[in-house]
Every structure is written in structure tokens, then in C-alpha cells.
Amino acid sequence: MNVESLVRVEDKLYYNRYLVDIGHPHVKVRAHTTPSPQLLALLKACPARCYELNDDGQVEITVDGCIECGTCRVIAEPTGDIEWSHPRGGYGVQFKFG
Amino acid sequence: MIEERFDAIVVGAGMAGNAAALTMAKRGMKVLQLERGEYPGSKNVQGAILYADMMEKLVPEFREEAPLERHLIEQRFWMMDDRSHVGMHYRSDDFNEERPNRYTIIRAQFDKWFSSKVREAGVTLLCETTVTELVRGERERIVGVRTDRRDGEIHADVVVLAEGVNGLLGTRAGLRARPRPDNVALAVKEMHFLPRETIEARFNLRGDEGVVIEAAGTISRGMTGMGFIYANKECISLGIGCLVADFQRTSQTPYGLLDQFKRHPSVAPLIAGSEVKEYSAHLIPEGGYKSIPQLYGEGWVVVGDAAQLNNAVHREGSNLAMTSGRIAAEAIGLVKSRGEPMSAANLSIYKKMLDDSFVIKDLKKYKDLPPLMHTQSQNFFLTYPQLISKAMQNFVRVDGTPKAEKEKATLKSFVRARSWTGLFGDACRFARAWR
């Protein structure tokens, strides 16, 4: 049984509270034609499923649901595949319980 | 630039940052603390267990004031395969003491309270402020920070980097390396709400008694990882974490593991009917002693998770964080009281004091265990849990097979899976790393 197909991450993120910094994403994917193995790993490893493949086979990010764990930084920043910062002060996920 | 000058700037309002800020303020120092979240705790994620001994050293009266969940009277270790668990439980009425030793807490709530104590002591706290850069002065000395606020440059004699496992400042300034995928675990967690009475009935608890379960085995699908279930007053913290390098290697998803853990027949009844109110994720430093970076330099010290101070074997982190924060602050206080500059040579006393504490002593004791667990993850997290589960079932199932035959079959299953030399080697390696 494929467990992943049964899990809707979007539903999980819906529990959380965010202050989205519109127009200022804190993580950016470097422009590429073919994604590196590191970028492809993020499709699975990101716990908020922020990374997706677009129709042209490139990896894209939507940071709105990011829970700021830093996994993508550890995997894909060393290769220069992504630019990673913290959100601006006050923005991003605001944990009620943590 | 903000003209006001501070004795110290603390970056971060987690356990380490709060401990450092509080300790310095109590010594009469002028301290500025910067936190990027909306309020202290809003970016902090932990299981979470609070260790009273280390907290008492900071706020002796915390038991009367702090938002605590349950005091722990029981610890369960579960070795799991897909349908069973072999458990070792320790429960003692001794833990129903006047000054309990460990509590479950909810970090966002606890940190808010902790921060109120820090501010009462005189620390200036600025929230919603992300520090973007360390400012260098003469001879590469750190002389302050730059923030994302307008006119955001602030100067101080010393900067305490309590910026957490993902701290960017130290890495960007070249003070330490970025965490490696084999040195950090990614843990995902959910908060499951249930009526208080339901939690107490399901976990066999009275009043504010609490229990925690730490679980390992096939739940991590051969990766180096652990699950946890902590009973709070009206909710259960449930999560699972594995090394980032293992996620990268196996293409397993963190939420897939979490859901599988929740559906395990030993776990599902504990959370049945609960309402989930939050989903979080966090990195945990797992590299141990060998991954500790340079802890001090010209005008700076690093504390807590940012310094990889986490005991992966005992699942202790927050107590190492608050102790390193306190010790760093005491070291800074010492340098200041002598009227000397915050140079690397003078701040080196922080490392000496930390070396003498349980923080470094414990990490040193287990210095070889993280690499062993990482290289032998298939054996320790998959093969052995399965073998032990089968052995236990064989032991308790009554089916007319003579006991001698049963024992022979169990022994044979171990030898078949790992061979005599393998078994012997694993035992030796484990004993050596534990010692």
C-alpha cells in the first residue's frame, strides 16, 4: 500500500497559522533546465511539500506553507540549488504549540 | 544605526537564548535580545520534555509559575516491528515527588512565560526582528548585528548566538559549517487533542501524572530514527524523526512515516478520536561530540542547538541548551567583571566551563554512538527489532512446541540474520560506543 498517496499534506498545513510575506519568498530555487539530484530529493523530503515539479520537469517552490525546518537548506544549499533565508521578522509560520 | 550600546546582544529567544539573556541581566548587564517570531516561542518546536534541575538553576520558582503540562512518572521504550512492540517500561511512584524531575511542556506557551521572566530581569526584547548579518569591526572582531529593521545596525561588546539549529548568522560569517545531512534529523510532529480524562485513562495516569513513549524499529523503515508520544494535559504530542541523509537516500516522505506510525496497532488506540491542531517540523542536531563547532571567538559565543549541543541517545536537548546558555553568560559576566575585553582568549573560559559540565561530558561519553547508529541503521532499526519481536512472540505463544525447540529456533533466526561473527561484532561495537 502506498502510504504517501493517502496523506494530504495540505490538510495538515491548514491547522497551522501563517503570516505570509507576499512577494518576498524566503527560499528561492535557482533557475535550471534539468533538476539536480538534490533538488529532486526535496520533492519527497520537504515535510510541507513546498517543492513540486512543473510541466517542464523543473522544480518549483511555493513557500506559503513552509514550516521553516531547514531540511532543504541542509540538502540543497551547498550545491547552490536554492537560496535560503529566514522570513523577514514577524512573517512565516507562527506556532501556537510548537 | 541604533545609537544605544549594549553589553550583550542575544540572537534568539529559545531555551539557550533565554537562559543566556536572563543570566546576564541578573548580573546587571545591559542586554538586548532579538527574536524573529511574532512572540517568543512562535518559531520553536520540541517534543517536549522540560528538565527541572536545569530550569531551577535559572528560575527557582518555575514550578509555581510556568505553564507545565504533566510531571513524568513513567518512561516507555518500545522496539517496534510492523504489528507489535517489545516494551521496557519504567514507572515509579518515587517520581510523584514534591519537586518532580521532568515535565512535559508545550514550547510556544512555555517560552512565552520564560521570556516574561527574562524581561522582568531587565532584558530588552525585540520580536519580529530577523538578524541578517553579524557586523565586524577591527581585526575581524564581531561588534554587533544588522537586522531587517530600518536603521537595523546595533552594537554590543559581545554577541551570543542562540539562533537554533538553522542559525544562518554563524554560518554566513564563517564561524561554523552548515549542518550536514548526516548530522541532523528531521522530525515531524502533530498535536492531538483529547479530553483530559481520556488521556489519563488511556495512559493509566492520575491527576497531573505523565508518561512518555520513545519508539524505534521498523517505523523508521531502516533509517536511523525514532518516534515519540508524549502525554500532555489535554493533548498528545506525537512525532517521528530520521536523519536527513536517510530521507535523501531513501526518498521516504516524513509525513508518510508519521502516518504509518499513527496507524500502528500499538499507537492508533492511544490517539483514536483526537483532533489535530498543529503540524510542525524541526531539525535536531544528531552529530554529537564530533560535530560541535568552535564555541567562541572575537566578540562572540555560540550556545544550544546552534552549537549542535544535543544528546541524541538520551533525547536531551533543551537542558543542554539552557545550561550552555547559562554557562556562556556566566563566562561573559566573569570577563566583564574583570574589566577585560570580550576577546577569544578571554571568552575561551566558556569552553573550559562547558567542558567541566555534564553537557560536554555526556556528549563525549557517546561520541562514537551517532556514527555507529548511522552506518548500521539497517541492523539496529530493522533487523534486530524484527528478530526480537519474533523471539518474544515465540516465547509467549503457547502451541505445544517444546520450549527447548522454541529456544533453538529463536537462536537460529538470529544467527541466520546476522551470523555469529555479525552478532558478536554488533554487540562489541555497541558496547564500545556506549561505554
Residue A31 lies in a domain: yes
CB B319 within 8 A of CB B216: no
* End-to-end alpha carbon distance in chain A: 31
Count interface pairs A-B at CB distance under 8 A: 150
pLDDT given at position B151 = 80
Calculate the CA dihedral of residues B377, B378, B381, B383 and round it to 10 degrees: -150
| Domain CATH number, residue A60 | 3.30.70.20
DSSP state for residue B311 in the 8-state scheme: B
DSSP state for residue B237 in the 8-state scheme: E
Q: Which domains does chain B have, with CATH numbers?
A: 5-69+105-176+289-365 (3.50.50.60), 184-285 (3.30.9.90), 369-434 (no CATH)
Instruction: Kindly identify which residue of chain B lies nearest to residue A12, measuring between CA atoms.
Output: B279
Q: Which of residues 17-46 of A touch B (CB under 8 A)?
A: 19, 38, 41, 44-45
How many whole angstroms separate alpha carbon B127 and alpha carbon B34? 6
pLDDT given at position A9 = 92
pLDDT given at position B1 = 60
Count of residues in chain B:
435
CB B342 within 8 A of CB B299: yes
Pure H helices in B264-402:
268-271, 318-337, 344-355, 358-365, 369-375, 377-378, 384-396
What ipTM score was computed for the predicted complex, to two decimals?
0.95
Of the candidates A13, A74, A86, which has its C-beta nearest B168's C-beta? A86
Residue A64 lies in a domain: yes
Strands B275-285 and B184-193: antiparallel
CB B16 within 8 A of CB A70: no
Cell numbers for B402, please give them: 517444546
Cβ-proximal residues to A24 (8 Å cutoff; 6+ apart), any chain: A87, A88, A91
pLDDT given at position A1 = 44
Is pLDDT of A2 > 70? no
How many whole angstroms separate alpha carbon A93 and alpha carbon A71? 15
Secondary structure of A82-93 in HEC code, one letter for each residue: EEECCCCCCCEE
pLDDT given at position A5 = 54
pLDDT given at position B415 = 95
Backbone angles phi, psi at B368, to 5 degrees: -95, -5
How many whole angstroms separate alpha carbon B180 and alpha carbon B185? 10
Could B235 and A97 be called an inter-chain contact, meaning their C-beta atoms sit closer than 8 Å? Answer: yes
pLDDT-derived band at B374 (thresholds 50, 70, 90) equals confident
In which residue are the cell numbers 564581531 written?
B142
Each residue's pLDDT tens digit, B115-167 = 999 999 999 999 999 999 999 999 999 999 999 998 889 999 999 999 999 99
Q: Kindly state the average pLDDT of the residues B163-185.
A: 96
Pure H helices in B27-84:
52-56, 62-65
Backbone angles phi, psi at A12, to 5 degrees: -65, -45
pLDDT-derived band at A6 (thresholds 50, 70, 90) equals low
Number of H helices and number of E strands within chain B? 16, 17
Each residue's pLDDT tens digit, B295-328 = 999 999 999 999 999 999 899 999 999 999 999 9
Residue A43 lies in a domain: yes
Each residue's pLDDT tens digit, B28-87 = 999 999 999 999 999 999 999 999 999 999 999 999 999 999 999 999 999 999 999 999
Could A12 and B279 be called an inter-chain contact, meaning their C-beta atoms sit closer than 8 Å? Answer: yes
Residue A88 lies in a domain: yes
Q: Which residues of B touch A70 (CB under 8 A)?
A: 165-166, 179, 184, 283
Q: Kindly state the average pLDDT of the residues B414-427.
A: 94
Residue A78 lies in a domain: yes
Distances (CA, A) of B265 to B190, B194, B238, B271, B390: 18, 19, 15, 11, 16
Residue A83 lies in a domain: yes
CB B162 within 8 A of CB B12: yes
Residue A98 lies in a domain: no
A53 interface with B at CB cutoff 8 Å: no
Instruction: Kindly identify which residue of chain A lies nearest to residue B12, measuring between CA atoms.
Output: A89
Q: For A62-71, B23-32, B58-67, B372-381, which range has the lowest pLDDT when averaged over its residues? A: B372-381
Is pLDDT of B20 > 60? yes
Q: Which of residues 72-91 of A touch B (CB under 8 A)?
A: 73-75, 77-78, 84-90
Each residue's pLDDT tens digit, A20-61 = 999 999 999 999 999 999 999 999 999 999 999 999 999 999
Overall number of domains in chain A? 1
Residue A45 lies in a domain: yes
Domain that holds residue A11: 4-93
